[in-house]
Amino acid sequence: MLLELPCLDQMEEGYFPDTDCALPYPNGLLAWGGTLSSRRLVSAYRSGIFPWYSKGEPILWWSPSPRCVLETEEVYISSRTRRRLRQGAFQFTSDVAFEAVIEGCAMPDTGRESTWISDDMKVAYIQMYHDGIAHSVETWMEGQLVGGIYGLSIGKMFFGESMFSLVPDASKTALIMLCRQLNDWGFELIDCQVGNPHLLRMGAKEIERVEFEARLKIAVEQHHPDDFWKQGINTGRDW
């Protein structure tokens, strides 16, 4: 199957085939090979493309349709979660422990020996963090990191990559805080890439690629101040 797809090994770092060329099955597989350099990754995300592959595989690039997205103002907050937020059991920060968050996301779940977040992926996204492109929201309890979420911010589009939780609701509340903060900053959409029951319960929905790319094109060209993330998460909200 890979031999039928474009190989990026000899291509310029910014090159990707048109997303209309993505396979219907497996849904969205577009190309393989290349590197995880910051330049190539930024080019990919700006085009609605992301890397996703397992250990032992070449880098695989995807653009699925439908696309799972979350409107920042439509994140679902249950009454139980609101109570937890009001109780103040969790504390939230941004960009304070990015490397620890990505390590947490890379930990295998129960019964699974490995995850798709390989060492190469960790190195690439940590570099993106140092470049000011990748960001994290951390959830703390009694001074301990218990959950978080990380992703990329380009223009006014946030590309969610992964989240983890060591205690109930730690990742859920991190996502809620991220949505609320992004909405304050004028970000309308989070790219969730591929849907799952948890994201759909949180208010995510699936839209066709053409609609996603139309909104993406506008969002990535919008400017936001570089110091947004340095301001931290606004935790003084009325839940």
Give Dmax over CA atoms of the chain in angstroms: 55
pLDDT band at 113; cut points 50, 70, 90: very low
CA distance linking residue 179 with residue 105, whole number of Å: 19
Alpha-carbon Rg of the chain, whole angstroms? 17
Rounded to the nearest 5 degrees, what angle is found at the Cα of 24, between the Cα atoms of 22 and 27?
85
pLDDT tens digit sequence for 28-57: 999 999 999 999 999 999 999 999 998 889
Domains and CATH numbers, the chain: 2-64 (3.30.70.3550), 68-231 (3.40.630.70)
Both structure tokens of 231: 């301001």
* Sign of the four-CA dihedral 224, 227, 230, 234: negative
Query: How far apart, in Å, are the Cα atoms of 5 and each of 2, 8, 18, 204?
Result: 5, 10, 12, 30
* pLDDT for 202: 95
Rounded to the nearest 5 degrees, what angle is found at the Cα of 177, between the Cα atoms of 173 and 182?
145
pLDDT tens digit sequence for 179-224: 999 999 999 999 999 999 999 999 999 999 999 999 999 999 998 8
pLDDT tens digit sequence for 142-177: 999 999 999 999 999 999 999 999 999 999 999 999
* pLDDT for 110: 41
Say how far residue 226 (Cα) sits from the centre of its chain: 19
Please list, in sequence order, all residues whose beta carbon lies within 8 angstroms of the beta carbon of residue 171, skipping any fewer than 6 positions away: 139, 147, 148, 149, 163, 164, 165
**What is the number of other CB atoms lying within 10 angstroms of the CB of residue 193?**
22
Which residue's entry shows tokens 């996703």?
52
pTM of the model: 0.94
